[in-house]
Amino acid sequence: MTDATETPVVRTTPHTRTASYLAEPGEVSRVLLLYSGGLDTSVMLKWIQDEYDAEVVALTINLGQPGEDYDVVKGKAEQLGAVAAEVVDAREEFAREYVVPAIKANAIYGLAYPLFTALGRPLIAKLAVEYARRHGCDTIAHGCTGKGNDQVRIEATIATLAPELKVIAPVRGWQMGREEEIEYARRNGIPIKGGAEQTPYSIDDNLWGRSSEGRWIEDLTHAPDDDVFQLVTRPEEAPDEPQTVEIEFERGVPVAIDGERLGIVALLERAAQLGIAHGVGIVDHIEDRIVGLKVRDIYEVPAAAILLPAHAELERLVGTIHQNQFKGELDRKWAYLVYAGLWWEPLRTDLDAYMDSVNEQVTGKIGMKLYKGMARVVTRESPNAVYDAQLATFETSGGLFSQQASPGFIELWSLQSRMAYRLRAERGG
């Protein structure tokens, strides 16, 4: 008999095919590689040419990763033998078609994660499909491991949008550790950014946030070392003076900051700058991955930490109690679908129709006070507010709201609960 808690070991060789969309070695002749310029995908660029005797087209996508030099990335791809190297600026599409719907859905997974990576992957994979077709590729390659969420998001997208394309995920299959990768890089003249001495954090970022994983972050008892915060100012070093900023929304979309109208990309960048300066948007949490693992993540989400609470507050102001209660449930469902790689699931589009309908009313201004790591709502105004200061005031009575009617309401409102309570008390003795 086996112990139920014992973990059975599944043995597979690198070429065991476990899904119909995975490429067999003989089927690959031209590969579209999702190329970041980092160590893994640079090793892959070379390795695919050797291992499959295939041509590689490199595709790098700009979703607003701060401080990236795309000319350098493109040059590196060409130097490593890519037959073509494309860089696509997808910031506008990302902001408009992915981040804005997330704002309308108050999208947070696991109470803390604003989904920046999860929102980026379906767009990256969609563009990979587009460019693979344009360049006559038969296969798409990506650098995800077999333990994370990104493999699910990318492969689910490819399998949905382009059933004719195959996928290879060399990092998932190859048995190279970091040392061997560095050795392989040295032998093949692949430059190693930041040197080989220190294992870097595993970083993913775009204009909606940044994540760090790996190294001491995997030790749950290890409080964050300062060097992990490459984006947000540490709250203890943030200015001693608070700053209040006014975010204006039209139909759920942020359109202006402090009275200045901005395009959506510029607005997200401006919100990020404000958060960065005031130490806003640091998250350190445990997350339930799709594949069953738990992971500790450190996020820096300065724009989301300002815009999401502002949007949620305005939405609460213009919605009824029933809308507000119901929407929270749908928001959670939306966030989970997107987290779990099901961006193309029709339910997500159905939910978006509801989000859009509710957000028709979400117009107005929210004041956010930023101070040493905190972003707090301090003012709100909307032409659509379901709020009447005359009715709500504690100072006067009468008018449309009769306080005399309240006891009658309470008696009926609590009727069933009181009956059940009494019956159970009697039965229970």
Positions that interact with ligand ARG (CB under 6 A): 117-118, 148-150, 202, 204, 211, 213, 287, 297
Q: Nearest Cα to 286, choosing from 346, 207, 213, 366?
A: 213
SS3 letters across 271-339: HHHHHHHCCCCEEEEEEECCCCCEEEEEEECHHHHHHHHHHHHHHHHHCCHHHHHHHHHHHHHHHHHHH
Active site residue 121: yes
Q: Which is nearer to ligand ARG, 148 or 254 (CB)?
A: 148
Active site residue 202: yes
Work out how close the CB of 289 gets to ligand ARG at its nearest, in angstroms, rounded to a whole number. Answer: 6
Active site residue 288: no
Distance CA 339, CA 108 (A): 9
Distance CA 162, CA 340 (A): 19
Work out how close the CB of 39 gets to ligand ARG at its nearest, in angstroms, rounded to a whole number. Answer: 13
Work out how close the CB of 58 gets to ligand ARG at its nearest, in angstroms, rounded to a whole number. Answer: 18
Active site residue 150: yes
In 207-290, DSSP assigns E strands to 209-213, 243-250, 253-257, 260-261, 282-288
Work out how close the CB of 278 gets to ligand ARG at its nearest, in angstroms, rounded to a whole number. Answer: 24
Q: Which long-range contacts (CB under 8 A, 24 or more apart) does 84-87 make?
A: 84/57, 84/58, 84/135, 85/35, 85/57, 85/58, 85/60, 86/57, 86/58, 86/59, 86/60, 86/131, 87/60, 87/61, 87/62
Exactly one of 202, 284, 296, 380 is catalytic; which is it? 202
The β-bridge relationship of strands 282-288 and 209-213 is unpaired
Work out how close the CB of 118 gets to ligand ARG at its nearest, in angstroms, rounded to a whole number. Answer: 4
Q: Which is nearer to ligand ARG, 211 or 359 (CB)?
A: 211
Q: Which is nearer to ligand ARG, 90 or 317 (CB)?
A: 90
Exactly one of 36, 42, 121, 212 is catalytic; which is it? 121
Exactly one of 36, 42, 150, 212 is catalytic; which is it? 150
Q: Which is nearer to ligand ARG, 173 or 242 (CB)?
A: 173
Q: In terms of residues, how long is the chain?
A: 429
Residues with active-site annotation: 40, 121, 150, 202
